[in-house]
Structure 1
């Protein structure tokens, strides 16, 4: 009790003594002694200065961080502030007028408060406000036993302080430090005076420690209209994981019909969980999708299993399934583990079934790798396999491959040394195909010279490869061994300088000129025509200075060539890069050297490659690259992206062009001749338009459109509209995707149409994922061509 209140009480007591008799005086004296004893001993009321007691506690709207140690309200002293008090007997004291009680993290405000010493009970009435750092409650009446955590509140309105959520309850009982029981109550995450949705229940048990709420006989209502009823329901009241149903997803498509996706989340343990999604498709059947995640000392991984017991559209396929297993992690810092296993039930699985584990464009990789890294060397063991999509494809599996790398960056001054080695065993699924053991050793010496304005690196390597091939058996011959040894030296020297000047035309800009030249010599000594793990690397501006054009050591193409290029960059006075232009080409010294297509080169020059990036005022972006064949005087490939960004969205257009001969060159080592001819019979010329706009703080919209200028057909278009309030969201999306182009037999192209409706409530561990980016709002559909980031320049020269 404050000194001010003590003085008021003493003055009132003196005045009463003057007007009363001795009997009343003795009664009053006894009450005063009881009040003093009750104050000093029982309730430990502390004398304070004029400073308000509210400053000693958390603010009325402040959340107490659950990670910080809380003050024990049972053992903490009680602090009381009021305009006046009245002591009736040795068991009862009444405080009136702006009463504030603080005990630990608990604060009670009320018009009147009565304290009972015998049962250590506080009764607050009239505009009662209780705040314990987690809940803020407004009640008509509160009963609190101040040496325990029990509280009883009547006619309540409450708000969560540490998370979104509010509601009303006829009665609220706090039975311990973290548990509340609400009778005839509802809860919602909507703001005040907004009851778009609410969850009514006859009883709600809120456990702050478990961060969950259990509803008995819950009724979910939207605008006070009942939607569903359950006998019991448990939901999280924070972002903690909780077993239960997630919000469903509803869609309609021409391929699957009406579809309802119902996800169920299983919180199995702290380090692993499971999400099961039941997908009912009226044109297909019920599909079971499972995603299991785990975290261990060896890293983290996921297991995806998709299972369709019976496909109505393709009954001949019977059971259809897809399995994906991924794991990646480190062990004892030096060991690294990586596993990627993907397998499907049939070759048409991805084209027939909507899947989240892969796509039809690539063969499916089954790969396991374990690596060990030290300061100067590393080793790895790899097992690699592919699942083909056609019967004609016979990919080789690597079981196993051992890799070794050694680095000596400062063997001598200006001299680096490294050694790479590899032992691989190749087997094919087809027993008639040959099997091979390949051993490769590659030592290299490098002389690096560099300073602030230039770099010159000279490198010599020796490629030694040994093949032991077992030929496929035939009707007349048994499997035979064939040994091939290949030894190829290579030499490369590369230099570049950076010239810089302050521009006179644009005074605040700095321009650089960066010429670069490289000489590469590889003698043409290849003796093996094998291609066990070979794919052609895409050609662009950056391929000009590569040593090889193939991903594997099987194909080492002879080279005697100069590569030359020049780049120019423009920086503003803040050293932010605004423009970058690069142009380069390869000059072949001898025409009789085979080019990357294994045909005799008819020109001394490669295609002219260029790339450009431009950023104007951080809202207009441009990126492009192209290759121009100087021999045929035709463009081989080109693409560009132009994007305008504004406060509430962006607008982007993109284009790509690929010449048929370039398509054939790229795919030459991955497809059969018939398939290659089919894919490269026409050029690729495609236009794309993309936009997204934040209409206001609640509405968002975006759209994507792609058109094939060669076939005059729409490839794909998508559109989405989303609404996002403070407590619920809804998103409607539509997509149209080309499945089969028009041909002589099919006069009209075939498309797949899909509608999707996604909705849910916010708070209690959920979010909407409505994002204004390259994805359609609702996060359900993405374009195969997709959003292209138009500008990836450096922010500064340092």
Structure 2
């Protein structure tokens, strides 16, 4: 039997058993589901009334009065819909509102705090032991010096503990305390209300009836018909209901006929439980178990569900196995309707000074490629001492299309073209760094050529030192490296050894008015090439002095609330010319030419090439600063060349331009919510703009609205590894109503006249649940940077998170962070 069909068969058997146990419950659920659609019209009709209520609450004199009015209004509407009668009636909700005020901070304020300190709730047992108890009551009686009776506004206080009741009877002989009436208890970690309580002080046990409770640290609230507290660490509940929604909101509820809470094991067990969402039962389970704290527990994790054009419906059912306190494993069976069954395992371990992770997944046969596909990784970090550490990061997949086919469509286009594996050992001191490293690369872009895969380093040895002298304008630095470079397969390119050393000395003179920093360095690079891979000399070298002077001035003037600054900067660089055309290029490329490149001592980002230079960089930055924010910032910079530049990545074709591109960067924080960023490069050689971008970004501080629009333009410049580009991109997150927001992105290529990517979705975020659904279509670029012949890829993903309980579907936070500027992960 095909493994995928076997998995479906197992799921069907489980569903059948669940149906047998809950047939009557299912019938009830279906009836309520039919009536759910009827309620939609009622909800729409109530929207105007809800807005009127909100405006009245905003004008209310006290926040508590507004909260109560909201609760009452919501409950009146809920009770009018008899087919969706809420679990908690108006009286119970008012109890929760009263319990909410028992805390110094609102337990649900965290979901409304976008920035700032989150509320903290804790219990100080030491303070309780040192604080005497204060007892207040309207009247008291004592019988036979053993029985004490208190009545009328009974109030007991000790440290953070507070107990109120209508009547209290205490038997000193048996140690039993009986409480009656409207009982309210609160401390730093919880608050509860009950109609009666029986507390055995000697056995430290209790029995409570008709209980309402709030646990602020989660925060959660709930009720139970009966609570048996058998010991300080074990309690039992009958007919219990709980939710993470704040008082007045009953969007989701978890019900159970019986529940056991074991604080020693950190586990909760429930029987005959069901989950209710928007008053509609959506899930029944005859038995369930889940953790109540951060301790790891064996059990099923939340399933994942997705839909994409490449793999079809994608279902995952992960299982977590807590093998021991210091290691565990997650088993992840997965089925894709268009590809087949896949199995994965993720093993983690923790030893003394060592952490590690082993991941492996395999698909016995891909229905589309009819091949075995698999991938694995091994991560390890060991901190031998405070200064000595070791890291291993080994990765491998069966083919270059592995991630694009099987890793889901949310992460595509956000991954490097090469999968890196490396291992290193390092010794670090404040003034010294030594390391040994090996690395390897694998092509994971099906549109890229294997010829461009970087060299292996087997090994790379580095020794770097830095020393500054207190009281003296003197810094000394040494960079040194030895590497053996190897190709993955014979392709005619050279391989061999490289040694590079670069001592450097600088004299920084710094003051509040400006700085001057002369610097002198000497770079020597030596090669020993394998004779089998080169027809020329096997021993090559270059030695070059590098001389530079960096300087700048700071001028500023205050204008009421603004400070205007002018910051001119000059940077002179001299490097003599040495023919480097016969030297191999193992890992060197050109830096992207930006404002920061104006002040580098080498335009190449590796040591295989060292530019010849006789040039002066001039730059000017001016700002208008208000309260630490750059309300306006303008930077203009350019390099003046006094000699032809003859060193290139390939050959010695001289570049004779007298000027570099003129770089202009302009930005403005127009308001605290609106920001503009732009840059442009003017080419004197082409007499045109060859690169530019502009972005307007808005992020609302109060409404969480986000809007971004940008433009990207660049000419084809292969020496920088850049392809021609002419694109517009817009993204937004727009609040609609009551926590609902629309999210989307659109990316269009004017050059290709194609939609490169777009996604659109909706998000609902409240204090107790979060829902997202996203539809995405995109094109995969080829190795040449174009999109000719590319077929659109489609995918749909959703996520439903019941805060304080579970999450279903794909987690899309990282995807939104990468694609919508200004988006932040929800902190609650």
Cα-to-partner distance string for 1:52-106 (whole Å, 9 max, x where unaligned): xxxxxx9954799656335789x99876433234456666444332233567876
CA distance in 1, matches of 2:544, 2:674: 48
1:157 matches 2:212 = yes
Q: Distance between the aligned counterparts of 1:305 and 1:328, measured in 2?
A: 18
Q: SS in structure 2 opposite 1:429?
A: coil
Match of 2:456 in 1: 397
Give 1 or 2 for the bigger CA radius of gyration.
Answer: 1
Q: Which residue of 2 aligns with 1:638?
A: 692
Classify 1:620/1:198 alpha carbon distance in 2 versus 1 (closer, same or farther; 3 Å).
closer
Describe the superposition over 1:461-519 as per-residue Cα deviations: whole angstroms up to 9, x where unpaired.
2222222211327xxxxx99943242322232223231525388x99441314131313
Partner of 1:779: 813
| Partner residue of 1:341 out of 391, 394, 411 | 394
Between Structure 1 and Structure 2, how many residues are aligned? 698
- Whether the 8 Å contact between 2:632 and 2:669 is mirrored in structure 1 is yes
Residue 507 of structure 2 is matched in structure 1 by 447
Equivalent residue of 1:119, what SS?
Answer: coil
Q: 1:222 and 1:448, CA in 2 relative to 1: closer, same or farther beyond 3 A?
A: closer
TM-superposed deviation, 1:711: 1.0
SS at match of 1:631: coil
Structure 1 length as normaliser, TM-score? 0.78
Q: Secondary structure at the match of 1:218?
A: strand
Matched, 1:178 2:233: yes
Deviation of 1:631 (Å): 1.2
Q: CA deviation at 1:271?
A: 5.5
- Partner in structure 2 of residue 536 of structure 1: 590
Aligned partner of 1:625 in structure 2 is 679
Question: d(CA) in 2 for partners of 1:76 and 1:544?
Answer: 68
Q: Secondary structure at the match of 1:590?
A: coil
In 2: Cα distance, 1:409 partner to 1:200 partner: 66
Match of 2:566 in 1: 512
Unpaired runs of at least 5, structure 2 = 1-99, 108-119, 824-828
Q: Out of 692, 709, 723, which is 2:764 matched to?
A: 723
Q: CA RMSD in A?
A: 3.8
- Residues 1:456 and 2:516 are matched in the alignment: yes
> In 2 relative to 1, CA 571–310 (structure 1 residues): closer, same or farther, beyond 3 Å?
same
Match of 2:498 in 1: 438
Match for residue 599 of structure 2 among 545, 559, 571:
545
Partner of 2:792: 751
Q: Distance in 2 between matches of 1:79 and 1:507?
A: 55
| Whole-angstrom distance in 1 between the partners of 2:500 and 2:250 | 71
Residue 703 (structure 1) aligned to one of 729, 741, 744: 744
Farther-moved stretch of structure 1 (298-307 vs 437-446): 298-307
Report 1:98-117 matches (<5 A). Answer: 98-101=153-156, 108-117=163-172
Q: Quick one: distance in 2 between partners of 1:646 and 1:578?
A: 17
Structure 2 distance, partners of 1:106, 1:542, is 60
Shift of 1:689: 0.6
2:716 aligned with 1:687, yes or no? no
Kindly report which structure 2 residues correspond to 1:216-235, keeping only aligned pairs within 5 A, or say none: 216-235=271-290
**Separation in 1, partners of 2:645, 2:719:** 19
Given that 1:449 and 1:455 are in contact with CA atoms closer than 8 Å, whether structure 2 keeps it comes out as yes
Give the equivalent residue in structure 2 for 1:422: 481
Whether 1:126 and 2:215 are equivalent positions in the alignment is: no
* Pairing 1:469-618 to 2, within 5 Å after superposition: 469-472=529-532, 482-502=537-557, 508-526=562-580, 528-557=582-611, 559-572=612-625, 574=627, 576-591=629-644, 593-595=646-648, 598=651, 599-618=653-672
Shift of the 326–583 alpha-carbon distance from structure 1 to 2, 3 Å rule, reads farther
1:396 and 1:426 in contact (8 A); partners too: yes
Deviation at 1:528, TM superposition (A): 3.3
Higher normalized helix content (fraction of residues): 2
Where does the alignment leave 5 or more consecutive residues of structure 1 unmatched?
A: 1-57, 474-478, 668-678, 770-775, 791-798
C-alpha distance in 2 between matches for 1:190 and 1:365: 44
Instruction: Name the CA distance, whole Å, in 2 between partners of 1:455 and 1:575.
Output: 22
Post-superposition offset of 1:710: 0.5
Matched, 1:658 2:714: yes
Greater alpha carbon shift after TM alignment, 171-180 vs 588-597? 588-597
Does residue 203 in structure 1 map to residue 258 in structure 2? yes
* Shift in CA distance, 788/563, structure 1 to aligned 2, threshold 3 Å: farther
The more displaced of 728-737 and 440-449 is 440-449
Change in CA separation of 1:264 and 1:83 when aligned onto 2, cut-off 3 Å: same
Change (3 A) 1:687 1:80: same
In 1: Cα distance, 2:573 partner to 2:781 partner: 47
Residue of structure 1 in register with 2:60 after alignment: none
